[in-house]
Amino acid sequence: MGKIVMEGHIIREITPLSGKDCFYIADRNKTEFTYPMHCHKEFELNFVENAAGVQRIVGDSAEIIQDYDLVLITSPDLEHVWEQGSCQSDNIREITIQFSSDFMKGLLETNQFDEVRKMFEKAQNGLCFPLKAIMKVYALLDGLSETKGFYAVSKFMTILYELSMFTKEARTLSSSSFARIEVQSDSRRVQKVQDYINRHYQEEIRLGTLANMVGMTEVSFSRFFKLRTGKSLSDYIIDIRLGHATRLLVDSTMAIAEICYECGFNNLSNFNRIFKKKKSCSPKEFREYYRKKRIVI
């Protein structure tokens, strides 16, 4: 199953694809985005619906999305994340398709797949498709997770080919596949704290430790952090831990109690209470629901 590895402050995601799989699809309805900034070696096509106000960050690109968003990423080092932002929707749909760079490798050398190859090259910096391209493939995306075997592969290849017809109209997102957002003095201090939290979320994190890191009193730091991130420190840490927990619930066979302690929660009842408050379901219910919608083909 999938797992995650820290590289600096960026999570490198290890997907559940094997060398014999064509692609991996996760089709889910959700009320919020919680997974942290990450990257992975697999190519990714990510579709988001009914999530106006969400902030999409790809490399050094940060944009507020509208009701429909479709992005292709083909670089193993291009960090990306969809953050909740000002989105108020309680019925967000996200379809994530991840596939190996070796998928269709021979076909990409043929004349018939020349446009797909060009699209993949441009998508190394992230490629955002226009609404008319999304509408062209919407029906295919909508039913992909319900399609099995050969027909699923055929449908996915059709999606890629149809999107390649819009490569010239699609927007490149990041200025560099190794880009990082340039930050000012205050932002650097926030980044330093966020990096520390990402590295130590499994441990007890003390307010005083973080305040000392940036040369502030605890009271001043608390106000500063909320002003810059829009969240209290405790809520921010909980969201990071829950982001890791939700991924482990879906992508691992670890027991829920193991996941609780692995993600920095100090006891199981506290984990269950916080999880249900944030997700409106128990960890067990969350795992059962999302596993129904995640398929390796």
**3-172 maps to CATH 3.40.630.10:** no
Using 50, 70 and 90 to split pLDDT, how confident is the model at 289? confident
Helix intervals (H) in the chain: 114-122, 131-144, 149-164, 185-200, 207-213, 218-229, 233-251, 256-262, 268-279, 283-291
What's the whole-number mean pLDDT along residues 229-237? 85
218 pLDDT more than 50:
yes
Beta bridge partners of 27: 95
Angle between helix 149-164 and helix 114-122 axes, rounded to 10 deg:
70
Dihedral over Cα of 33, 97, 73, 199: its sign: positive
**120 vs 188 pLDDT, higher one:** 120
Average pLDDT, the chain: 85
Q: What is the pLDDT of residue 14?
A: 67
Per residue in 76-124, pLDDT (tens digit) is 888 888 988 899 999 999 999 999 888 888 888 888 999 999 999 999 9
Residue 253 φ then ψ, to 5°:
-105, 15
Residue 58 φ then ψ, to 5°:
-130, 110
Using 50, 70 and 90 to split pLDDT, how confident is the model at 181? very low
Domain segments of the chain: what residues?
3-172, 185-296
Among 38-47, 125-134, 140-149, 225-234, the minimum mean pLDDT is found in 225-234
Q: What is the pLDDT of residue 190?
A: 84
The continuous run of DSSP H or E covering 57 comes out as strand 55-58
Share of the chain above pLDDT 70, in %: 87
What topology does CATH give the domain 185-296?
A: Arc Repressor Mutant, subunit A (1.10.10)
What's the whole-number mean pLDDT along residues 151-168? 95
Q: CA 174 → CA 125, 167, 171, distances in Å?
A: 5, 15, 10
Q: What is the pLDDT of residue 10?
A: 58
Q: What is the pLDDT of residue 292?
A: 62
68 pLDDT more than 70:
yes
For the entire predicted model, the pTM comes to 0.67
273 pLDDT more than 60:
yes
Among 5-9, 27-31, 171-175, the minimum mean pLDDT is found in 5-9
